[in-house]
Amino acid sequence: MDNFMKRAVELAIENVRDGGQPFGAVLIKNEEVLGEGVNELHMKYDISGHAELLAIRRAQEYLQTNDLSGTTMYASGFPCPMCFAAMHFAGVERIYYCASLEEAKSVGLGKSAVIYEDLQKETEERVLPMVRMELQEEIENPMNLWREFNKKGML
């Protein structure tokens, strides 16, 4: 097993022993660890406190950038949709994982599978209702504002 994956699994094991879930993550670039994390849901009461997200946050803070191009994530388990999306947005270029989605489901950690399935459905058929509301004309459209600021090079 790769040393970075071994570290991710060790973090997951420590987290279970501390009362948390079996998830650990290590984010690297050029063989350097930029950030590590474990699921901190049990400590911080923060649903976004997933191992991969914390590794990303720590790496971005360390590097002072949102762009994590050229990085690789080692995760003890198959990433949830939230973590996968964050890695995608941040520019993580490769993800290695140990435990499969099916393994997570078999031990009672199957919410990710439900969400992945739900994302395959049409918006109106999803478990969590999503309803689009049109912006009222008297309210400035933030998308248009972004476009104008971006054209002027202000962002």
**Domain of residue 148, CATH code:** 3.40.140.10
Number of separate domains in the chain? 1
Q: Tell me, what DSSP letter sits at residue 19?
A: T
- pLDDT tens string, the chain, 155 residues long: the values are 699 999 999 999 999 999 999 999 999 999 999 999 999 998 988 999 999 999 999 999 999 999 999 999 999 999 999 999 999 999 999 999 999 999 999 999 989 999 999 999 999 899 998 888 999 888 999 998 889 888 877 65
Residues designated as active site: 52
- Domain range holding 148? 3-152
Residue 71 tokens read as 């990085």
Cα-Cα-Cα-Cα dihedral of 42, 45, 50, 55, to 10°? -100
CA-CA-CA-CA torsion sign (118, 119, 120, 123):
positive
- Bridge partners (DSSP) listed for residue 72: 28, 94
For the entire predicted model, the pTM comes to 0.89
